[in-house]
Chain A
Amino acid sequence: MAMTLSAPLRRRATTALLLVPLAAYIIFLAFPLLWLTSTSFKRPNEILVLRPTVIPKAPTLDNYREVLGPEGVVRASLNTMKVAVASAVLALAIALPAAYALARKQSRLNKAIIGWILVSQSFPSILIIVPLFLILARFSLANSHLGLIMVYVVWSLPFVLWILHGFVKGLPNELEEAAAVDGASFPQILFRILMPLLLPGLATTLLYAFVNAWNEFFFALVVLKDPQLMTVQVSLSRFRGLEGLARWGPLAAGSVIATLPAMAAFAFLQRRLVSGLLSGGLKN
């Protein structure tokens, strides 16, 4: 072609081209939320039809009324919010120094830690539920949110530790060495220099630990006896039935409500994913 496209036009064309695969991804990943939302406003006789419509013909708020009512998921969601936030923050606090050690220091303990990560993630978790519960019971932590939080922290640690250590490894040594030469103490190095650069990794692992705790079902079912302590996944499971059946209306409404916090957490954290401080760090 004799004439090349001008820069802004070319950029528009590339953007449009990018939108096609992006749209495909989004449809693939997000379609269930559409179905869930649509179902949550339907009466039972509109749900199990052969060709369901997106917009209900006779919409109803009954499902939401049930799910936001006394026998619903509100209390459970608040409980789980508390547990999930606590586990995420705690997991991060514990893992960060350890991730640094794993990435930067040489030690036999490192090999042991890696071995632990591998074994703990490979061994069937269903087989450790019983001994784990017995340990919690011995410390009077059964039937308590605190016990649950501690278990979730320990369950998230391998991933958080492993991923964070990968991020730390990706940072050049020169930054810390330069800071050390300038007389910075270790905590200062960690918080002033490294953490800002690790923000994407911190946000990711925080989100992971949060969602892990938010989505966990079986251990919460086993550990918590008091109905007031119940978590949201256990609360939702009551709408599930037998042989592929369920009380779809309230289940869909409850699921929509249960999906929101994780989405909100990511909305909050996703700004941290883009760390503009990156380019600044290297210049020094």
Chain B
Amino acid sequence: MRRIRLLIAALLVAFLASTGASTAGTAPVRVRFVSLAWQKTAVEAVKEVVTAWNRTNPAIQVDYAQVDWGAIHDYMLTSFQTGNVPDVFHYESIPILDFAKRGFLTDLTPMITPEMRADIFPGAWQTVLSEGGKIHAVPYLWESLIIIYNKKLFRDAGITPPTKEKPWTWDDLQRAAKTLTKDLNGDGRTDQFGAAIGLRSPVNRVLNLSIGFGGNYFYVQGGRNVVLVGEAERALLTILMNMLYVDKTASPDGLGRGSPELIPGFLAGRYAMLPGIGVWARQSLVETAPADFEWGVLPPLKAKTQYQGSATQTLSIPAAAKNKEAAWRFIEFALSRDNMAKQALGDWLFPTRQSSIRLSGFTTTKYGWDVSTDSVRFLRMAPWQKVLGYSEWRTRLATPLMNELFANRITLDQFAERVVAGSAEILDRYR
């Protein structure tokens, strides 16, 4: 009796051990993917991609988590320091370069296939290229700053909007804005402004648009980074000050507000144009505009050139990630021609693959896609994006000074002087 019981026990143990062993062998690798997509269609697109992957890859299962833009920076910094990192995360090229410098990211250069290398725009690769030619993130979405305009107000004022072939210059914009600025009820106060420009976080925006004037702000002199505010840099600032305080065609509401926050006023006809708004904000416009509201997109303005500085949105693998191979396989899938296009369309941004951007979704005339997409050829990496210490320069020096300039509390000369003087001290600390 006892021997039988022993035998049964042994068989049981063997059975359990074998099932344990076999399930251990087939337990899928879990890849944690943190995404920033928040707009309704964007989240749907990401979920589709993740579901498609999970369905066809039982051995590697992706756990999708959404983190919001307001928390992602602190979240990633904390993750790097605690080692509790996701395997793949979605973020922006500028902070990514900083993370790469500090050693937090995996070098993806050996993993990137030649096909991907060739298909993604060189300008996009530039935004993630570190010193020494290493790549720590794959750029997959990028945005441009466009101008949204009110078609009806243009018609009523008899203004012909520019086209991709015949874009406006900044002078054209200012002239149009003058025509569009009106005091409708004769009470001495302007009821309709030609434009409203969101200047809450002015520095990135101004620096990006200054590229078109050749104003780079950051230059390399004698091996060091210096900041210069010369004619090229002053050009855009002069135009903005002009529109705010001389012609008074730009609404003061724009100070302290992000451009998308000006949409309610735009929809109510308070502003005829919203220059310098992110191309992704069209989704908000589409959702919130009344059915009969006609709006369109104007091509980027021509300064000396139509160039703009732009950052890309990227996918990266932290250096402390446990499942890098699996993570990379997912990235390849998620950034295929069609999947990348799907995510870009969902978020109302552009894909960085040349093959994706030729797809019909991006060339339709609806919602100004064709004009917006055309602006991709003007996207450049701005020099400031690679400068170590830019973050401190911006928050400590440039933002307060721009706040004062746009509030008309200091002159342009004073601004230039103080920026140049303060930059040396800050940049020196990062050498």
Contact = CB atoms under 8 A, between A and B. Distances in A.
Check whether chain A touches chain B (CB < 8 angstroms).
yes
Interface of A: 44-45, 47-50, 126, 129-130, 133-134, 137, 142, 217-218, 221-222, 225, 227, 237-245, 247
Contacts of A142: 84
A30 B210 CA distance: 45
Nearest to A244: B261
Contacts of A47: 288
A137 B63 CA distance: 21
A244 B70 contact: no
B57 interface: no
The 4 closest A-B pairs by CB, nearest first: A243-B258, A44-B287, A50-B268, A48-B288
Nearest to B80: A130
Interface string B51-83: 000000000000101111111001100110110
Given A48-B264, A240-B38, A221 B67 contact: yes
A244 B260 contact: yes
B267 interface: yes
B65 A130 contact: no
Interface of B: 32, 38-40, 63, 65-71, 74-75, 78-79, 81-82, 84, 198, 200-201, 257-261, 263-265, 267-268, 270, 278, 280-281, 284, 287-291
Given A130-B82, A227-B65, A48 B70 contact: no
A48 B284 contact: yes
A225 B278 CA distance: 32
B193 to A, nearest CB: 14
B68 A243 contact: no
Contacts, number: 95
Contacts of A242: 38, 69, 258, 260, 278, 280
A25 B39 CA distance: 37
Given A137-B84, A243-B261, A237 B71 contact: yes
B78 A129 contact: yes
Contact of A247 (B38, B265, B278, B281): B38
A130 B81 contact: yes
A240 B65 contact: no
A94 to B, nearest CB: 27
A188 B417 CA distance: 74
A241 B264 contact: no
B258 A50 contact: no
Contacts of B67: 221, 237
B63 A237 contact: no
B227 to A, nearest CB: 26
B40 A222 contact: no
A142 B78 CA distance: 14
A117 to B, nearest CB: 25
29 contacts: A45-B289, A45-B291, A48-B264, A48-B267, A50-B265, A50-B267, A50-B268, A50-B270, A218-B71, A218-B74, A221-B67, A222-B82, A227-B65, A237-B71, A238-B66, A238-B68, A239-B38, A241-B39, A241-B68, A242-B38, A243-B200, A243-B259, A243-B261, A244-B257, A244-B258, A245-B258, A245-B261, A245-B284, A247-B38
Nearest to A130: B81
B38 A241 contact: yes
Given A227-B63, A241-B69, A45 B261 contact: no
A133 B288 contact: no
Contacts of B290: 45
Nearest to B270: A50
Contacts of A126: 74
Given A217-B71, A227-B65, 5 more contacts: A44-B288, A45-B290, A237-B70, A238-B38, A243-B200
